[in-house]
Structure 1
Amino acid sequence: MKGRVLVAGFATRHVVCSAVRAGYEVYAIDHFCDQDLCAAATAHSSFEELADLPELIAGICADHSIDWFVGTSGAEMLTVPVRRAGTTPKISARFLDKEHIQEFFEENGIPAPCRACGTYPAMLKPRHGAGGWRNRLVHSAADVTAWEEEWPEVPSILQEVIDGVPASVSCIADGHRAVAIAVNDQILRGGDGNRAFGFSGSITPSDHPAAEAMMAIAEQAVALSGCVGSVGVDFMVGEDGVRAIEINPRFQGTLDTVEAATGLNLFDLHIEACTGILPERRPAAQRACARAILFADRDLTVERDLMAYADCCADIPWPGTSIEEGSAVVSVYGRGADRAAACSELDRNITRLRQYIS
């Protein structure tokens, strides 16, 4: 055993499982506590409100000798009584605010969408929040007003619309330097409403011609950011080049496909970066991996034990779990020698699982 790790946040399964594979004893505090998380962690606790996290964290740290704390979504800015592995709360706060991210890109000459000042269409985003939740394409001042009425007292930012495809770069950083580990195509939910731009999967590696340019920009941005450990940069890639959208100062949802494609363990790299050790070079992908999150098309109850299909899925709900329409049910994977093979296997596995959840 390399040590004891406490991972806390709204969704932690991807980090918990990576840490276990790396040889750590892992304690988890998670909103969902899906089956595969509970099977991997030495001990786990669930919570309903993020305000409950500090007390739960303090309790585990008092009862166990914890070597590292890792915060995922919702726990990035918490003060904890043990050594933190990752970006400091102060720096995290800057990059969890899209207004401050915009200022950072502008100050450092990093290509990014311009602010939209009375011009439409525009992309309206809440300043705080993850996964593209509540992002909306607006076509008029009336659309902006409607969004503000729906989400009163939620600060927002307006940016120009960048036509293109969404992508991301996964980096490892020590606070001063950064190395790109993988470029990923991102899958968005689509449709209308508050979920249209929500993250719903990834494909690693990206085969986009701009992949090299994205890696160079991501390494520059992350090195300047002061972020530590696993850090992601989101992009939109269009005909006129690439635009950086956000910096994510924590483990990203692409962790699973990055690890499967590169053969690396991101948790190991994360801890090494926290001690000042970075990869000597960018790794080459060994294969391709695709992930898609399946969402409930109606209110449903999971009756089948999907752990029987853990070879091709993750974030596995317990039998009897009730899931509201539009909420995530399970993540499904496909792997192969190249992108086409991985996506083909993903499609087969989705067909295999849908019969049990729809």
Structure 2
Amino acid sequence: MKLLLIGINIRHIACSACRAGHEVHVVDGYCDLDLESCALDMTLLSRDGLDGSNRAEELISEHIERVGPQAVVLGPGLEEARVKGVPVLNNPAEKAARISDKLWQARWLERNGFPFIRTVTSGEDLDFPVMIKPRRGAGGVGCRIAQSRSDLDWGEGLIAQEIVSGRAASVSVICDGKGARALATNEQLIGESWTGAKGFRYCGNITPLEPLPKSDIASMAERIVARLGLVGSNGVDFLLTEEGPVVVEVNCRFQGSLDTVECATGVNVFEAHLNSFRGLLPSRPAIQCTAGRAIIYAPRSAEIKERMLFPWTADVPRPGSIIGRDDPILSVMAKGSNRVEVISCLQDRAAMIRELTKGPAKII
């Protein structure tokens, strides 16, 4: 199938689609080195005015006219755009917009009897400290702890949540609008210092989750996405507490765990995603190995001077790219027979990349 994939960062989606045998045309905000091998052609996405839906939809229309695809896949930053004249392999824009609202999610989870985190639009009804988050957003960006009312600085689009302690996990799910099938449970890496991530920043995954919790979070995730009527690849994030799992959020889009899920299970996530639009769901796959991905963050602003394209790197920036302080440099991958082995390998590779970032003005 001739596909147009467009979004701020779609390397993982495009490479999965390429491995499934599709003709992939991409419009991406980074055009990383490893994306070249996955795409028939690659165009840099202009981010000017992307915050306005009209401009985003105009850009998508321009690229549809240029490429002439059989279908479009909208990636990060564009999942809520409305597209006309060609099939769109995403959840409907209206549904994506509604579900991306964390306040709406919390209320929906409560109404439907799922464990949720109490969420409000002010700190008045919660005991301090509280978690402050963007009402819309991903990757832990903008999350912080408010210790008291004096720490509150309410801006537009913020919510407050009670603080829940637990192990961060996710479930990758394929849904056809009625039924759902979990592909894998994953450990989430959050704010790991060895990656350079700060605060609550998402910095990777380990698949499968080890050890599995007593509660069947895979079945719970299936029930959630099926009841929401989602289609394609979706994810549910959890905190695994001493009292049981609590749902953090539902992500109605491809997840950052795609690479580790494919490596650990042997399933092509894009093909499973595509089949779901035809009403076909996969069987729950067996785990073949343990796989990990870690996102490495820059300790300082720098210019990329040389290629860092190794067999175990992904999202590799081009020489000449400027990486801002605390922004992602690239991802490192590893696989092995268990979590300890994979984490050790990821940490070694992260150390190699971070060693290359030393120096006041360059990364080599």
Task: Settle same-fold status: TM greater than 0.5.
Answer: yes
How far apart are residue 90 of structure 1 and its match?
A: 1.3
Q: Summarize deviations over 1:40-98 as a string: whole Å, max 9, x none.
A: 21122222232453233212211233122111221111111310112111111111111
Cα distance in 1 for partners of 2:267, 2:183 equals: 9
Which consecutive residues of structure 1, in runs of 5 or more, have no partner in the other structure? none
Mapped to 2, the partners of 1:97 and 1:160 lie a distance apart of 17
* Structure 1 residue 221: Cα displacement: 0.5
The Cα offsets for residues 310-343 of structure 1, whole Å up to 9 and x where unpaired, read as x101000001212111110010011112222222
Shift of 1:195: 5.1
For the residue of structure 2 that corresponds to 1:306, the secondary structure is coil
How far, CA to CA, are the matches of 1:208 and 1:142 in structure 2?
Answer: 40
> In the TM superposition, what are the counterparts of 1:255-270 in structure 2 within 5 Å?
255-270=258-273
* 1:29 has 2:27 as partner: yes
Among residues 164, 171, 174, which one is paired with 1:172 in the alignment? 174
Closer, same or farther in 2 for the Cα pair 1:23/1:333, shift >3 Å? same
Identify the structure with the greater helix proportion.
1
Q: How does 1:65-80 map to 2 (within 5 A)?
A: 65-80=68-83
Normalising to structure 2: TM-score of the pair?
0.91
Q: How does 1:122-141 map to 2 (within 5 A)?
A: 122-141=130-149
Q: Contact (CA 8 Å) 1:86, 1:274: kept in 2 or not? A: no
* Equivalent residue number for residue 41 of structure 2: 43
How far residue 212 of structure 1 moved from its aligned partner, in angstroms, is 5.2
1:347 counterpart SS class: helix
Aligned to 2:187: 185
Q: Is residue 105 from structure 1 mapped to residue 103 from structure 2 by the alignment?
A: no
1-side partners of 2:198 and 2:60: how far apart? Answer: 31
Tell me how far apart the structure 1 counterparts of residues 35 and 25 of structure 2 sit (CA, whole Å).
10
Determine the structure 1 residue equivalent to 2:351.
351
Are 2:199 and 1:199 aligned?
Answer: no
TM-score normalised per structure 1? 0.92
Moved more, 281-290 or 60-69: 60-69
Are the structure 2 counterparts of residues 195 and 104 from structure 1 closer, same or farther at C-alpha, using a change threshold of 3 Å? farther
The alignment covers a number of residue pairs equal to 345
2:192, 2:203 within 8 Å by CA — same for their partners in 1? no
Question: Which is further off, 120-129 or 311-320?
Answer: 120-129
Identity of aligned residues (%): 36
* 1:121 and 2:129 aligned: yes
Deviation, structure 1 residue 211: 6.6
Greater Cα offset, 47-56 or 311-320? 47-56
Can you give the 5+ residue segments of structure 2 that lack an aligned partner in the other structure? 359-364
Comparing 205-214 with 311-320, greater Cα deviation is found at: 205-214
Distance 2:149 2:21 in 1: 53
Task: Name the SS of the counterpart of 2:36 in structure 1.
Answer: helix
